[in-house]
Amino acid sequence: MDIDLVCFYEDHEDKTYQKLKTVLIEKHLSSEQYFNNRQVFLNSDFLKYVLRSVEQHVKFIRNIFIITNSSLPSWLNYRYSKIQILSYKNIVPSNLLPTYNYSIVENHIVNIPNLSEYFLYIPENIFFVENVDKDFFFDINNRPYIRFKDVFSHNKELKYDRYASIKNAIRICEQYFDFKPRFFKHCNIECFRRKDIIDCLDYIADEIDKMSARFESKDDVSRYIWTYYSYLKKHSVLKYPNLYMSSNFTKVFTNILLNLIKDDQELKLSQKKYKLSKKIKMFSFDKDLKSNIKDENRALAFLETLFPKKSEFEF
141-174 tens-digit pLDDT: 999 998 876 655 544 555 545 578 888 998 999 9
Q: Which of 14-18, 61-65, 171-175 reaches the highest mean pLDDT?
A: 61-65
pLDDT tens digits along 215-274:
888 889 999 999 999 999 999 998 866 544 444 333 334 444 443 333 333 333 344 444
In a domain, 193, yes or no: yes
Q: Please name the residues in contact with 211: beta carbons below 8 A apart, sequence gap of 6 or more.
A: 101, 103, 104, 107, 217, 219, 220, 221
User: Which pLDDT score, from 0 to 100, does residue 270 have?
Assistant: 42
Q: Are residues 289 and 173 in the same domain?
A: no
Return contacts of 284-287, CB within 8 angstroms, 24+ apart: 284/124, 284/125, 284/126, 284/127, 284/187, 284/188, 284/246, 284/247, 284/248, 285/46, 285/125, 285/247, 285/257, 286/124, 286/125, 286/187, 286/248, 287/39, 287/125
Q: How many domains does the chain have?
A: 2
Structural domain including 25 reads 3-241
> Which of the residue ranges 97-106, 131-140, 294-303 would you say has the lowest mean pLDDT?
294-303
Higher-pLDDT residue of 241 and 69 is: 69
For residues 230 and 144, is the Cβ–Cβ distance under 8 A? Answer: yes
Query: Which of these three, 241, 275, 295, is where a domain ends?
Result: 241
Q: Examine residue 216 and state whether it is found in any structural domain, yes or no.
A: yes
Q: What is the DSSP letter of 153?
A: P
Quote the pTM value.
Answer: 0.84
Whether residue 123 is found in the same domain as residue 196:
yes
In a domain, residue 20? The reply is yes
Residues 304 and 194 in one domain: no
Average pLDDT, the chain: 79
Q: What letter does residue 9 receive in the DSSP assignment?
A: E
User: Any idea which of 57-61, 210-214, 283-287 has the lowest mean pLDDT?
Assistant: 283-287
What CATH code is carried by the domain that includes residue 27?
A: 3.90.550
CA distances for 238 relative to 127, 144, 185, 227, angstroms = 22, 9, 10, 10
